[in-house]
Chain A
Amino acid sequence: MATGTDPDLTFEDVDWDAEQEHPLIDRSPVFLAQVVINAVIFGALIWDYFILNNESPTIEGLHYPAIGGDSLIGLGFWELRRPVLQFTTNGIEMTTTFSVWDVTSVEWLLMVVLAFGFFNVVVPLYQNQRMTAYYWRQFKKNKAAVASLVFLIVTFVIGFVGPVFLPPPELSLTEQYLPPMGVTAQPPGYAEPISGTLAHPLGTDHQGQDMLKLVIFGMRVSMQVGLLSMSIAVGIGTLVGTTAAHAGGIVDEVLMRYVDIQSTFPVFLLLLLLIYLYGGSLILIIALYGFFGWEGIARQVRSEALQKNEEAYIQASEAAGASQWWIVRRHIIPNTSSTIITAATLAIPAFILGEATLSFLGFADPEIYSWGQVIAGGRGDLRGAPWISTVPGFFLFFMVLAFNYLGDALRDSIDPRQEQE
């Protein structure tokens, strides 16, 4: 009925094997690039863990001496400092000015995930421009979703680039409870009302930490949790769902029974239990949400794959003697991609909220700049300094809202069957 658009061409209909010369070994340049990038990341990871002293940063010794010494204290957030890199090579200390980054295990994982996402979402979209254009036309009808996408991209970039260039928030006994710019308040410990200044655009918290910096550092944590947990959950969910659907019989029964059991165990209690047993480091929280948050995805992917299983090309493939694994990887997974992408987008906000809740309750690593923790920290000063609890909450709220809107719009544009508006 729709005119002008090309309703027949979607992710699901792309012939994923069309340009395949050899059915078993993928030699396309994209695939090679993917292998190379992954090799580089893993190489760097090994370098980080085995060659470098584990205690030292990957790119070592970041110090942020203030430009011009102490005289510039008072610039607050804007107190840009020149990053200085210090090496210790063979006992000789070397200094250079260079941007510096201590790559943590979470960040290694994230790089793998981003590379994977790039090669499996961005590259196919680029290669199939007609399909991309079609999706884009569908997607951009939803203005709220487009705004959400822009907001998320900006947040993502600030969250990842910001902490590389910005020094972390610092405690300052002289700058506690400063109100945000343009706000006048009388915070605890102050005899007179004071006004916020440009030095700390969003004010400071009860320990004098700059709120804007806390917000930026918190963005990174939320993005890390959302993306990584989602990747783990989507990975497992997809694997279990497609395997169950394709293998059928006893395998299906056992897998889905397990899914039943896991969804009975209250995830939140399980998280508290495991955090109680093993401590609440960021990577553990990410892993827990990933490993215990995939049942819904598995169920969805399974029922989608069950429908696809019946379709002609899979049966043709089977008749041609393709291996089971080949069929799952080459046909079923790509052909349930719309379900997977939507589920992935909607899983992210759930995990972000989960982590924020845990750190709000104080179960997470206190070293991590999580928004939940900042919100909890300001709870006692609601009367005098309400911005401490409210400001990070707005960012958290909008981030989750944006992901929800985006997921909903993706469902509508990729899978018009589900809900038409």
Chain B
Amino acid sequence: MSDDPLLDVRDLKTQFHTDDGTVRAVDGISFDVDRGETVCIVGESGSGKSVTSESITRIIPIPPGEIADGEVIFDGQDLTEMSTDQLRKIRGNRIAHVFQNPQGALNPVYTVGKQIIEAIRIHKDVSKQEAREQTIDLLDRVGIPEAGKRIDDYPYEFSGGMKQRVVIAMALSCQPDLLIADEPTTALDVTIQAQILRLLGDLQDEFGMSIIFVTHDLGVVAEIADRVVVMYAGKVMERGDVYRIFENPAHPYTKALLRCRPGQGSQREAIRGSLPSMIDPPDGCRFAPRCPHAVEDCRDGDQPPMMEAEHPGHEVSCIFYQDGFDSTQLDSGPEGLSASEARTDGGESR
């Protein structure tokens, strides 16, 4: 294995051109994914997590979408430079996706078998019969009982959790190097959620693939992540090792996110306000309008650059980590977030 990361996203910008203006859904983000590791992207609804993960293999709708800038280096090749035909050879083959809603992810009018066989035969030159056998193996592997019989069933004949297993089977059909799972468990109930997470873990051990896992459930992050990328309004706020981030969150947004996690007792509260406009984002730090620590300098210029927090590999985009600021000030309990100000309407971190 080489030392290069498997995936290196650099300054990626994705925009949507709409009637109301250009939505800067992802506005210059960078992160990388090493071989065999799991990177979680967290952030509240609308912060651009899905757009990021769908920009990697360019499956966002174009138009209205556009990858305006940046590089996506996958195994040494820049995906943004590739033609759609070249990309198609990578989609589903080396980079596979699992989406949030298993109800909608399968075409309702084709049998599940047909859809997985299609996925196999797009990339592998095998006969229908061989593909069918592989499909049965896959279904069996993801825990569908009587896979040989169920292969000819239609999606509506499966429960939500089972459907998600089918989708995972489809994603694994070509043994991808990277699996991008966009909130794969959000639509499922808790017990099923745990099963699916365990399944993904097992499969990762078995196939040795990397996983990008998008979620806003911090409990899940703690369970599966090696590293974490915290997004807010199209920007990366903080990234680093999962233990460091949970034990020692550096960014005010991350701190607030962790505080409003369930099970945090009286500390639990929502972050006031809501995401800024992605069409006309505010100057300076995107989080400034909601940040209890915001000072004058936060509202100027661009998003603060990523600065190293205490440890190497743990980086944060907050002015308090720049020279001349004292990041320990962030630890003093800010008045703005006192428990008396509790929950207001703006708390969007479901």
A contacts B directly (C-beta below 8 A):
yes
A3 contacts B19, C-beta separation under 8 Å: no
B174, chain A: closest CB distance, angstroms: 35
A141, chain B: closest CB distance, angstroms: 7
0 or 1 for each of B222-259: is its CB under 8 Å from A? (1 = yes): 00000000000000000000000000000000000000
User: What is the CA–CA distance of A254 and B34 in the complex, to the nearest angstrom?
Assistant: 64
0 or 1 for each of B266-298: is its CB under 8 Å from A? (1 = yes): 000000000001111000000000000000000
Q: Say if the beta carbon of B316 comes within 8 Å of chain A.
A: no
Which residues of the partner chain B approach A2 to less than 8 Å between Cβ atoms? 20
Q: Say if the beta carbon of A92 comes within 8 Å of chain B.
A: no
Q: Which of B19, B278, B280 has the most chain A CB within a 10 Å cutoff? A: B19
A370, chain B: closest CB distance, angstroms: 41
Q: Say if the beta carbon of A269 comes within 8 Å of chain B.
A: no
Interface magnitude class on chain B: under 10
0 or 1 for each of A1-15: is its CB under 8 Å from B? (1 = yes): 111110000000000
User: What is the CA–CA distance of A1 and B19 in the complex, to the nearest angstrom?
Assistant: 11
Which residues of the partner chain B approach A141 to less than 8 Å between Cβ atoms? 19
B114, chain A: closest CB distance, angstroms: 30
Smallest CB-CB separation from A3: which chain B residue?
Answer: B277
Which residues of the partner chain A approach B280 to less than 8 Å between Cβ atoms? 3
0 or 1 for each of A113-155: is its CB under 8 Å from B? (1 = yes): 0000000000000000000000000000100000000000000
Q: Say if the beta carbon of B209 comes within 8 Å of chain A.
A: no
Total interface residues on A, using CB and 8 Å?
A: 6
A254, chain B: closest CB distance, angstroms: 30
Smallest CB-CB separation from B277: which chain A residue?
Answer: A3
Smallest CB-CB separation from B21: which chain A residue?
Answer: A3
B201, chain A: closest CB distance, angstroms: 35
Which residues of the partner chain B approach A4 to less than 8 Å between Cβ atoms? 20
Q: Say if the beta carbon of B23 comes within 8 Å of chain A.
A: yes
Which residues of the partner chain B approach A5 to less than 8 Å between Cβ atoms? 20
User: What is the CA–CA distance of A4 and B19 in the complex, to the nearest angstrom?
Assistant: 12
Smallest CB-CB separation from A5: which chain B residue?
Answer: B20
Smallest CB-CB separation from B23: which chain A residue?
Answer: A1
0 or 1 for each of B17-53: is its CB under 8 Å from A? (1 = yes): 0111101000000000000000000000000000000
User: What is the CA–CA distance of A349 and B151 in the complex, to the nearest angstrom?
Assistant: 50
Which residues of chain A from 1 to 31 have a CB within 8 Å of any chain B CB?
1-5
User: What is the CA–CA distance of A2 and B21 in the complex, to the nearest angstrom?
Assistant: 9
Which residues of the partner chain A approach B277 to less than 8 Å between Cβ atoms? 3
User: What is the CA–CA distance of A1 and B276 in the complex, to the nearest angstrom?
Assistant: 10
User: What is the CA–CA distance of A1 and B233 in the complex, to the nearest angstrom?
Assistant: 13
Which residues of the partner chain A approach B23 to less than 8 Å between Cβ atoms? 1
Smallest CB-CB separation from A138: which chain B residue?
Answer: B19
User: What is the CA–CA distance of A5 and B23 in the complex, to the nearest angstrom?
Assistant: 16
User: What is the CA–CA distance of A2 and B280 in the complex, to the nearest angstrom?
Assistant: 11
Smallest CB-CB separation from B46: which chain A residue?
Answer: A1
User: What is the CA–CA distance of A1 and B279 in the complex, to the nearest angstrom?
Assistant: 9
A29, chain B: closest CB distance, angstroms: 36
B345, chain A: closest CB distance, angstroms: 13
B328, chain A: closest CB distance, angstroms: 37
Which residues of the partner chain A approach B21 to less than 8 Å between Cβ atoms? 3
B42, chain A: closest CB distance, angstroms: 21
B223, chain A: closest CB distance, angstroms: 32
User: What is the CA–CA distance of A115 and B280 in the complex, to the nearest angstrom?
Assistant: 46
B19, chain A: closest CB distance, angstroms: 7
Smallest CB-CB separation from B19: which chain A residue?
Answer: A141
A376, chain B: closest CB distance, angstroms: 45
B255, chain A: closest CB distance, angstroms: 28
User: What is the CA–CA distance of A317 and B23 in the complex, to the nearest angstrom?
Assistant: 41
User: What is the CA–CA distance of A2 and B277 in the complex, to the nearest angstrom?
Assistant: 9
Smallest CB-CB separation from B16: which chain A residue?
Answer: A1
Which residues of the partner chain A approach B279 to less than 8 Å between Cβ atoms? 3
B196, chain A: closest CB distance, angstroms: 30
User: What is the CA–CA distance of A1 and B275 in the complex, to the nearest angstrom?
Assistant: 10
Which residues of the partner chain B approach A3 to less than 8 Å between Cβ atoms? 20-21, 277, 279-280
Smallest CB-CB separation from A4: which chain B residue?
Answer: B20
User: What is the CA–CA distance of A413 and B23 in the complex, to the nearest angstrom?
Assistant: 21
User: What is the CA–CA distance of A3 and B19 in the complex, to the nearest angstrom?
Assistant: 11
Q: Which of A1, A4, A5, A141 has the most chain B CB within a 10 Å cutoff? A: A1
Which residues of the partner chain B approach A1 to less than 8 Å between Cβ atoms? 18, 20, 23, 278
Which residues of the partner chain A approach B278 to less than 8 Å between Cβ atoms? 1
User: What is the CA–CA distance of A72 and B21 in the complex, to the nearest angstrom?
Assistant: 62
Which residues of the partner chain A approach B19 to less than 8 Å between Cβ atoms? 141
A367, chain B: closest CB distance, angstroms: 50
Give 6 A-B contacts (CB < 8 Å), ordered by A residue: A1-B18, A1-B20, A3-B21, A3-B279, A3-B280, A141-B19
Q: 11 extra interchain contacts, Cβ-Cβ under 8 A, other than A1-B278, A3-B21?
A: A1-B18, A1-B20, A1-B23, A2-B20, A3-B20, A3-B277, A3-B279, A3-B280, A4-B20, A5-B20, A141-B19
Residues of B in contact with A (beta carbons under 8 Å apart): 18-21, 23, 277-280
Q: Which 6 A-B pairs have the closest CB atoms?
A: A3-B277, A2-B20, A3-B279, A3-B20, A141-B19, A1-B23
